[in-house]
Structure 1
Amino acid sequence: MFKKYFTKRRGIMNLNLNEYDRSVSSLRTLRPSADEDIFWFRDDLHQPYPISPLGMTTIQKHHAWGYHVAAEITRLPGSKGGHVKIYKGRVYLGFEGLTDPEEIRRRAEEFKKLIEYCMANWDEYYTRHIDEVKEGLSFMASVNDGMSDSDLHSAIRRAEEINMRNWEIHFTLMYPADAIYFEFENFCKQHGLEEKDAVVMLRGLDTMATRTDYALWELSKMAVDSGLSEIILKEDVKSIMEKLAENPKATEWLKLFSQFLDLYGHRISAAHLDVIFPTWIEDPSPVLRTIQTYIPKIKEGWNFKTEREKTIKESIEAADNFMAKLNNDDQQKFKRLLEAGRKVYHFQEDHGFYIDGGSTAYLHDVFMVAGRRLEKYGIIGKADEVFFLTFSEIEEIFNRLGRNKVAAVYHYKRLVPSLVKERKDTWEEVGKVKEAPLTIGNIPQKVEDPIMIKVFGMIDEVIKAGKVEEVRVMDSFTGYPGAPGVAEGVARVIMSYEDFPNLQPGEILVCPYTATAWTPLFPKIKAVVTDTGGMLTHAAITAREYGIPAVVGTWRATRSISTGDIIRVNGDAGIVEILKKAVKK
Structure 2
Amino acid sequence: MSEDAGRTFPSPFSVPSPEGADGWEDLYPYYYTFSEARRDFEEGKFWFFDGMHNPEPVYPFDAIMTENWAVAVNQLTTRVWQIPPSLGIDHRVVNGYLYISPNAITDPELVAQRAEVFSRRAGYYFEHWDEIYAAWIEKATDCVERLQAISFEPLPELEDERVVREHHGVYSTYHLQRRYADLLASLFEMGSYHFEMLNLGYGAYLTFREFCQRAFPGIADRTVARMVAGIDILLFRPDDEVRKLARLAIDLGLTEAVLTQGDPSALLAAMGSLPRGREWLEALEAAKDPWFWYSTGAGYTHTDRAWIDDLRLPLNALRGYAQRLLNGETIERPLEQIVEERERLTAEYRALLGDDDRATFDGLVQLARTVYPYVENHNFYVEHWHHSIFWSKVRELGRVFVAHGFFADEEDIFFLRRTEVHDALYDLCIGWATGTDARGPSYWPDVVRRRRDVYERLRAWTPPPALGRPPEEITEPLTIMLWGITQEVVDEWLGGKEEDAAILNGVAASGGVARGRARVVTTSDGLHDVQPGEILVCRITAPSWAPVFSTIAAAVSDIGGIMAHTAIVSREYGLPAVVGTGFATQRIRTGQLIEVNGDDGVVTLLEEAP
TM-score with structure 2 setting the length: 0.87
Distance 1:426 1:246 in 2: 48
Letter in 2 for 1:142: A
Alignment of 1:446-457 (within 5 A): 446-457=473-484
Match of 1:565 in 2: 592
Match of 2:148 in 1: 141
CA contact 1:49–1:271 (8 Å) conserved in 2: no
- Does 2:546 match 1:519? yes
Decide which of 21, 28, 31 is 1:27's aligned counterpart.
31
Quote the offset at 1:452 in angstroms: 0.9
CA offset digits 1:26-60 (Å, max 9, x no partner): 2312348722132211101111111111111x111
Distance 1:384 1:229, change over 3 A: farther
**Segment of structure 1 superposing worse, 378-387 or 355-364:** 355-364
Decide which of 225, 231, 249 is 1:199's aligned counterpart.
225
CA contact 1:482–1:534 (8 Å) conserved in 2: yes
CA contact 1:400–1:408 (8 Å) conserved in 2: no
Quote the offset at 1:551 in angstroms: 0.8
**Segment of structure 1 superposing worse, 246-255 or 472-481:** 472-481
Distance 2:426 2:499 in 1: 53
- Does 2:264 match 1:242? no
- Does 2:108 match 1:123? no
CA contact 1:39–1:439 (8 Å) conserved in 2: yes
CA offset digits 1:399-434 (Å, max 9, x no partner): 343444265863211111111122122223322222
Distance 1:329 1:459, change over 3 A: closer
Indicate the SS of the match to 1:273.
Answer: coil
Distance 1:359 1:136 in 2: 8
Query: Alignment identity in percent?
Result: 27
Decide which of 533, 538, 563 is 2:560's aligned counterpart.
533
CA offset digits 1:147-181 (Å, max 9, x no partner): 84532321221221221232233233222211110
**Segment of structure 1 superposing worse, 331-340 or 568-577:** 331-340
Letter in 2 for 1:274: T
Distance 1:149 1:73, change over 3 A: same
Distance 1:195 1:302, change over 3 A: same
Decide which of 52, 55, 79 is 2:59's aligned counterpart.
52
Distance 1:373 1:427 in 2: 24
Letter in 1 for 2:121: L
Match of 1:290 in 2: 317
Match of 2:199 in 1: 175
TM-score with structure 1 setting the length: 0.90
Indicate the SS of the match to 2:32.
Answer: coil
**Segment of structure 1 superposing worse, 156-165 or 298-307:** 298-307
CA contact 1:294–1:524 (8 Å) conserved in 2: no
Match of 1:97 in 2: 104
- Any gaps of 5 or more consecutive residues in structure 1? 1-12
Decide which of 159, 175, 187 is 2:183's aligned counterpart.
159
CA contact 1:348–1:536 (8 Å) conserved in 2: no
Letter in 2 for 1:579: L
CA offset digits 1:55-83 (Å, max 9, x no partner): 11x11111111132112111122333112
Distance 1:471 1:281 in 2: 47
Distance 1:335 1:17 in 2: 57
Distance 1:83 1:358, change over 3 A: farther
Distance 1:161 1:408, change over 3 A: farther
CA offset digits 1:14-33 (Å, max 9, x no partner): 54545113333223123487
CA contact 1:492–1:562 (8 Å) conserved in 2: yes
Decide which of 387, 407, 410 is 2:438's aligned counterpart.
410
Quote the offset at 1:261 in angstroms: 1.6
Letter in 2 for 1:427: Y
Decide which of 408, 432, 439 is 2:460's aligned counterpart.
432
User: Once superposed, what is the RMSD of the aligned Cα atoms?
Assistant: 2.5
CA contact 2:50–2:99 (8 Å) conserved in 1: yes
Match of 2:76 in 1: 70
Task: Look at both structures and tell me which one has the larger radius of gyration over its CA atoms.
Answer: 2
Distance 1:30 1:361, change over 3 A: farther
Distance 1:215 1:563, change over 3 A: same
Distance 1:429 1:517, change over 3 A: farther
Distance 1:186 1:465, change over 3 A: closer
Indicate the SS of the match to 2:203.
Answer: helix
Q: Across the two proteins, how many residue pairs are aligned to each other?
A: 568
Quote the offset at 1:219 in angstroms: 1.2
CA contact 1:485–1:548 (8 Å) conserved in 2: yes
Distance 1:18 1:80, change over 3 A: farther
Alignment of 1:179-578 (within 5 A): 179-192=203-216, 193-238=219-264, 239-305=266-332, 307-405=334-432, 410-434=438-462, 436-464=463-491, 472=499, 474-578=501-605
Quote the offset at 1:101 in angstroms: 5.0
CA contact 2:333–2:572 (8 Å) conserved in 1: no
Letter in 2 for 1:164: F
Distance 1:512 1:518 in 2: 13
